[in-house]
Amino acid sequence: MKKNINAVVFAIAIVIASIILGNAVVNRNKKAGNISVTGLGQTNFTSDLIVWEARFSQINKDLKQAYTDLKKDKETISEYFRSKGLHDSVIVFNAVSTNKTTKPNYSDDGKYIGEEFTGYTLNQTLQINSKEVEKVEKISREVTELLNKGIQLYSMTPRYYYTKLEDLKIEMISRATENARVRAVSIAKNSGAQLGELSTANMGIFQITGQNSNEDYSWGGVYNTSSKEKTASITMKLIYALD
């Protein structure tokens, strides 16, 4: 009986030793680990499309006359833009909005006695989309010249865009990826390891900010439209195996 127990114990010991030895071989053959790096791709560029909007209006108790006057203003504004070298195809006049205006009336003792009709206010906005960025910029600054023609054109701040954004994104991804790889090679070399295969690549959010601005990045991405000169950036997070 005792011999049988000893034999069983010996057999179990052999099995345990085999498991330990097997794990040791597996662990010895495992790779050294991995390395995670983040690269940045960044470039400055100049907007190649400008969008500028403005508004003009007329007020008159006679609605028909108000429309007539607004139409004359529109023709004068169009002629002004043509004289500045803008083609009609880049100018869009939006629909006219009409509002009936009133003012409150009060009795001599200060009691409210109702509203008095003062006229119709007609507003019309225009939008210019042009690749002649500098020309439209100049016009937006000089548009007060229309005051001499009796027209008050309320100018809005121009917005700036870039029409080759997709090409720019591809370029930025390439730069960010290369930047991350250079960092990974340097870290691996200084650690006495060799850089293995790329296992994971995650792209960050594409950001566009004004050049030399203090704009904060956003988790959803920033798209600056107020600056003509912009900076585009994107990050790439790469994970490499180490040999």
Say what the pLDDT of residue 243 is: 82
Query: What confidence tier does 32 reach under pLDDT thresholds 50, 70, 90?
Result: low
Q: How many CA atoms lie within 13 A of 137 on its CB side?
A: 13
At 167-221, the pLDDT tens digits run 999 999 999 999 999 999 999 888 888 899 999 999 999 999 999 888 877 777 8
Q: Which two tokens stand for residue 114?
A: 């109702």
Whether residues 168 and 149 share a domain: the answer is no
CA distance 23 to 16: 11
Task: Classify residue 230 by burial, with Cβ atoms within 10 Å: 0-12, 13-18, 19+.
Answer: buried
**Predicted model pTM:** 0.77
Whether residues 152 and 56 share a domain: the answer is yes
pLDDT exceeds cutoff 70 at 4: no
Average pLDDT value for residue range 127-146: 95
| List of E strands, the chain | 33-46, 49-60, 91-93, 97-106, 112-130, 154-155, 159-161, 195-203, 207-210, 229-242
Percentage of the chain with pLDDT > 90? Answer: 68
In a domain? residue 205:
yes
Whether residues 193 and 155 share a domain: the answer is no
Whether residues 95 and 80 share a domain: the answer is yes
CA distance 19 to 17: 5
Range of the domain at 196: 31-46+164-242
CA distance 120 to 35: 70
Instruction: Answer with the one of 161, 192, 222 that is the final residue of a domain.
Output: 161
CA distance 101 to 239: 65
Whether residues 113 and 200 share a domain: the answer is no
